[in-house]
Amino acid sequence: VRIAAWYCRPAQRAERTPAILFLPGYQMDPPIPKDWARKGYIALSVAPRGKLRSNRQYNPGYPNLLTHNIVDPHTYAYRGFYVDAWRGVDFLRSQPEVDSDRIGVTGSSQGGGLTITTAAIKPEIRAAAAGCPYLCGYPDSIELTQTYPYEEINDYLRQYPDRRQAVTDTVAYFDGINFADRITCPIIVNIGLQDNVCPPETGYALFNRIGSADKKLYTYDGHGHDAGRVTHSAVTDAFFARHLKGEG
């Protein structure tokens, strides 16, 4: 499968520059990461299979992605999605202008969930910032919310009730909570306490499982799925500046 991505570089940069891997939300198109480049990072915004120009060979559509081949862990949609995100790290490390010892990863919602699994599987990641992580705590999420995308699973189970055990077995392989204890890099997580898309209970459960000794959870009361994004952006900027640039 051919995967597309946006690649941005600072106009003025060192011979080897720190990099940020940006991972997209469920329905959003991967943005051009110009803002990260303006902050002094080489930035890669990956379009996993089914997104933008990565949909020519594989395109389950929206809705449908969450339940596409959900009864088989070998062909489940997120198997490929996760690998595409991880390959973004490999691409950045292959670029001579990237300092491969200073790569961070970030995203919100689906991007937050992909941030968790990427930080867990790719030890080359030096810092991670995950916002309102989706794909974490599947079983609890489908009980706690009737909001899409998680409601896609409930719709599927209403149509195919005999497949419940197969679905449960499959999503266990891809649940970010089951990856979290492998994370060793510094990481911050932000959640909205009134989030009806990615329930905050799953954010707490995820955070408690993260293996890194350097971790911090930011909770935003009065906020839903935005997870305090406007306020928290300054926290994220300072976090990456400290861990990837040595500032602060």
- Annotated active-site residue 195? The verdict is yes
Among 109, 175, 223, 243, the active-site one is 109
Catalytic residue chosen out of the listed positions 99, 175, 195, 226: 195
Question: Which residues participate in the annotated binding site for substrate?
Answer: 26
Among candidate residues 45, 54, 175, 225, the one labeled active-site is 225
Give the residue numbers of the binding site. 26
109 in active site: yes
Q: Cα–Cα distance between 156 and 184 in angstroms, integer?
A: 36
Question: Which are the catalytic amino acids?
Answer: 109, 195, 225
